Structure 1
Amino acid sequence: MPRLPLSPIRTGGKAARISNQRLDVDGLSFEVHRSERRKTLQITVERSGELSIVAPLQAEHHQLIDFVQEKLVWIHTKIEEKSRLQQRAPIKEFVDGEGFLYLGKSYRLRLVDEQLVDLSLKNGRFCLRKMSAHRGREIFISWYTRRAQGWFEKQVAEQANRMGVEVEEVKVQDLGYRWGSFGTAGRVHFHWKAVLLPPRIAQYIVVHELAHGHHPDHSAGFWIKVEQHLPDWRWRKSWLAENGIQVEGI
């Protein structure tokens, strides 16, 4: 989708630049989403520090700029909070009583002397073979990856059929700061950490990525497609931006 040429807009003594998809104000760059159902403006600070703003279709450019400038202190505070949280994300210790997430729930760890597999989830606890505790992170990542593969394959099969998207492959791996991606030839990828999130939030990631099967960018059409299948996508997206950092510590 071609972008409109950027042009500087002077407001409050500061320059702002806006296109049909991005808004740059005071050195900050926002991805702009418009929705006919949206009545108010909303800013989201993603866990990676990326910024987005959701606006009603009729909102004027100067209204977006004014809104951002009013929220500059809040925005910079949130960016700093995200940075601190990423730096201080608690590193898990593989000892009795440590909590580990799976599909939004926290399960305590129990070290056991004998077990057929390195790690299992039973009776509301993760059970890790004591002699394997020194490889705890590697073992947990492997367990999460296997579980995520099955969970996302099922979700993608259900959602892709509803959304009219052809998927050739579902793959779970470490995607860095991305929760998922939709690649060429119908390949969709998910971060293994996404299986630590509550199911409704992980489902948003699925719908988000499958919507890219129709719209490769984050244009208005993309968000309309997301909204068709998840009318409450905004709170799920906001929850992910605010709370996704909690799965960083493993």
Structure 2
Amino acid sequence: MPTLPLSPIRTGGKPARNSDHRLEVDGLSFEVLRSDRRKTVQITVERTGELFIVAPSKVADQELVQFVEEKLLWVHTKLADKARLQQRAPVKEFVDGEGFLYLGKSYRLRLIDRQLVDLHLKNGRFCLRRSSVYRGREVFVSWYARRAQQWFERQVAEQANLMGVDVKEVRVQDLGFRWGSFGVDGRVFFHWKAILLPPRIAQYIVVHELAHAHHRDHSAAFWIKVDQHLPDWRSRKAWLAENGIQVEGL
């Protein structure tokens, strides 16, 4: 099963990788990613604090250094923003009124003294059996994983048919910092937290992973494949990079 720099998407939305080398500028270390199809230079700040320069193949290192020096204020501002976002990913409390995401929408929690199951979604509320509060996270993760399994199986079946991909199995589990992964054996994996994302963003993850059945790396050919099936993938990818942190507090 490939890991970065090949198949999975990280929760920070790491850019396509064809790693060239690293540049040190003002005490900051940037990994340089080059592409023959790239027309402009771009700096990417990962939520983990990793820094990337994405550039056309023929741009000299000195030009990249000059570009970074002109953007240093922006880079330091983004690093500070990322640090604040990390601090603002609160751990959920399983109390009345707490909000929990599901397919991009937030639903308030209601504690119920008596119900047959630990948790269900009813009338726009998550209803959690009060006696199960002590293991609230376990209950929610199990509920999310079951819903994610059903949702991603349907999405994969639809998209795989359109993309000409033979998928052997869809599996939902905890993938750490990755949203998804496509295995060389035809199995596709998704993080259970992906079911918290808006459907259009979760769909991007599906298309992204299935595109790896055709191209194992994040080459230009890979992104062309994604573009063929999801022309607005750039906006979805950008949303995931900026907002994915919101689902990490559970």
* TM superposition score normalised by structure 1: 0.82
Task: Quote the Cα distance in structure 2 between the aligned partners of 1:34 and 1:100.
Answer: 43
Partner residue, 1:211: 211
Q: Which ranges in structure 2 are unaligned for 5 or more consecutive residues?
A: 1-16
- 1:110 offset after TM fit, Å? 0.3
Partner residue, 1:164: 164
Structure 1 consecutive aligned stretches of length 4 or more whose deviation exceeds 6 Å: none
Partner SS state of residue 184, structure 1: coil
Contact 1:91 1:249 in 2 (8 A): yes
Matches within 5 A, 1:142-161: 142-161=142-161
Task: Quote the Cα distance in structure 1 between the aligned partners of 2:206 and 2:123.
Answer: 29
Task: Quote the Cα distance in structure 1 between the aligned partners of 2:36 and 2:134.
Answer: 49
Partner SS state of residue 153, structure 2: helix
Task: Quote the Cα distance in structure 1 between the aligned partners of 2:48 and 2:36.
Answer: 22
Partner SS state of residue 75, structure 2: helix
Amino acid at match of 1:173: Q
**Residue 20 and residue 247 in structure 1: after superposition, are their counterparts in 2 closer, same or farther (change >3 A)?**
closer
Equivalent of 1:24 in 22, 25, 34: 22
Task: Quote the Cα distance in structure 2 between the aligned partners of 1:177 and 1:242.
Answer: 15
RMSD, aligned CA: 2.3
Partner SS state of residue 160, structure 2: helix
Task: Quote the Cα distance in structure 2 between the aligned partners of 1:122 and 1:21.
Answer: 48
**Residue 20 and residue 154 in structure 1: after superposition, are their counterparts in 2 closer, same or farther (change >3 A)?**
closer
Partner residue, 2:3: none
Matches within 5 A, 1:83-232: 83-232=83-232
**CA deviation vs aligned residue, 1:103-143 (integer Å, no higher than 9, x gap):** 00000000011111100001000000011111100100000
**CA deviation vs aligned residue, 1:51-74 (integer Å, no higher than 9, x gap):** 45566x697456655433322332
User: Which structure has more RCO (C-alpha within 8 Å, separation ≥ 6)?
Assistant: 2
Contact 1:105 1:198 in 2 (8 A): yes
Q: Percent identity?
A: 72
Task: Quote the Cα distance in structure 1 between the aligned partners of 2:35 and 2:175.
Answer: 24
Task: Quote the Cα distance in structure 1 between the aligned partners of 2:18 and 2:89.
Answer: 36
Partner residue, 1:16: none
**CA deviation vs aligned residue, 1:39-58 (integer Å, no higher than 9, x gap):** 75544333344445566x69
Contact 2:18 2:218 in 1 (8 A): no
Partner SS state of residue 95, structure 2: coil
Contact 1:44 1:241 in 2 (8 A): no
Amino acid at match of 1:68: V
**Residue 20 and residue 96 in structure 1: after superposition, are their counterparts in 2 closer, same or farther (change >3 A)?**
closer
Task: Quote the Cα distance in structure 2 between the aligned partners of 1:238 and 1:82.
Answer: 15
